Amino acid sequence: MSPALKFVVDRGQLATSGPGFSHLEYVYPPLPVLLSIILPRDQLSLAICSCLFSGLLGSVLVMRIGLLRSMLLGLPLIAVPQMWFLSSELLPPVVALTFLAVALFGFIQFATYGETYGGFIAGLALAASYAADPGALFYALVMCLFVPLLGAERYRGDPQGPLGAMAVIAFPVVAMAICWSFLIWRFSGTWPGNLDYSPNAHVFQFPYGVLGGIGHALGSAFADLVRSTVYIAAGVLLLSRRRTVLLGAGLLLPVLALALVLWVGFDYTAINAYYMFVLVAIAVITNHRLMDSPRYVTVLVIAAVVQVIIGIRLLPPTPGFTVWQHLMFQ
């Protein structure tokens, strides 16, 4: 069993080890832990569940942008073995990223075109994502910062409009975080509870020092960015068009948010960042119809192929991947 799946199973066993809710502070992330309690506690059942969520994510992409474009833009996810490992063995990030994909497309419909339904979908999906990964709070922060960029024309002359849109997006996930913290305090007497929600999390521990950790987090975030050539290509194409210059520059916001997440000590490995940047790039490319131009398609496909090569050769291996690769292919 991979370290991530074993950790979820151990949390599920801890959650049911005694009467009452005294162990609630350790039961995070709640959604994967709940699945580990409901499903048989073995590697196969949780791996199948992770694959089903990955399939749901793929279906969201196909439904939104079509099969052919999903295959072209999704090459960095389809053709890199570490993505197969993530899709089958890392249940919490897969669940979180699936709901992030749903939130991204709903958010774009809401912020760009004013579709209220998309705003509610984005907010609820972010709340569900928080149930698998506290980094959803930072997803919400980035989306709120993007509201004035995506809806610049729609909110012109309406300074209160962006604030209302931000509230719709952020309220569910913030409410989810507050309610979960309250439950922990109410039933365990501690707050905010056990923050080591995964084997690699070190929340507010700052192993590199508070100030030294900032430099390390920025270096790691920009290293993740360099490996995400599709994301970079999307940013460059947006910067090349006068109407989308601000949005192209705004693509630095997720990078800075990732640095903040790494500095705080949340569990964000290179594979998580790789996956997240691909999802954001696909959402941006789709929203601005960058693939409607044959010239842009050529640039994006080349970027996708380059990223596949980088993902195979230069993406740092996730804990457990080497063993999984040996068992699967040798």
> Encoding tokens for residue 270?
């290179």
> What value does the mean pLDDT take over residues 211-237?
94
Residue 26 corresponds to which tokens in the numbers above? Answer: 């350790």
pLDDT of residue 282: 93
pLDDT at position 246 is 84
Q: How far apart are CA 160 and CA 111, in angstroms?
A: 14
Overall average pLDDT of the 204-231 stretch: 91
For 222-232, b where at least 16 C-beta lie within 10 A, e where not — what string? eebbebbbbbb
Instruction: Give CA–CA dist 269/254, Å, rounded.
Output: 15
So what's the pLDDT on residue 43?
A: 73
Domain boundaries of the chain, sorted by first residue:
3-329
pLDDT value of position 327: 78
Give the confidence band of 303 by pLDDT, cuts at 50, 70, 90. Answer: very high
Compute the distance between CA of residue 275 and CA of residue 278 in angstroms, rounded to an integer. Answer: 5
pLDDT of residue 124: 94
- Quick one: residue 289, left, alpha or beta (phi over 0 = left, psi -120 to 50 = alpha)? left
Helices (H), 66-209: 67-73, 75-78, 81-89, 91-113, 116-130, 136-150, 161-188
- Range with the lowest mean pLDDT among 38-42, 55-59, 193-197, 306-310? 193-197
pLDDT value at 218 more than 80: yes
**Banded model confidence at residue 13, pLDDT cuts 50, 70, 90:** low
Q: Between residues 9 and 217, which one has the greater pLDDT?
A: 217
In the predicted structure, residue 18 carries a pLDDT above the cut 60: no
pLDDT above 60: residue 20: no
| 1 has a pLDDT exceeding 60 | no
Q: Whole-prediction pTM value?
A: 0.89
pLDDT at 91: 87
- Pick the more confident residue, 140 or 191: 140
Q: Is the pLDDT of residue 313 over 80?
A: yes
Residue 53 has pLDDT above 60, yes or no: yes
Q: Which band of pLDDT confidence, cut at 50, 70 and 90, is reported for residue 192?
A: low
- Mean pLDDT of all residues belonging to the chain: 85
- Beta carbons within 8 Å of 27's beta carbon, 6+ residues apart: 11, 14, 15, 33
Has residue 3 got a pLDDT over 90? no
Kindly tell me the number of DSSP H helices and DSSP E strands found in the chain. 17, 0
For the segment 22-32, what is each residue's pLDDT rounded down to a tens digit?
566 667 778 88
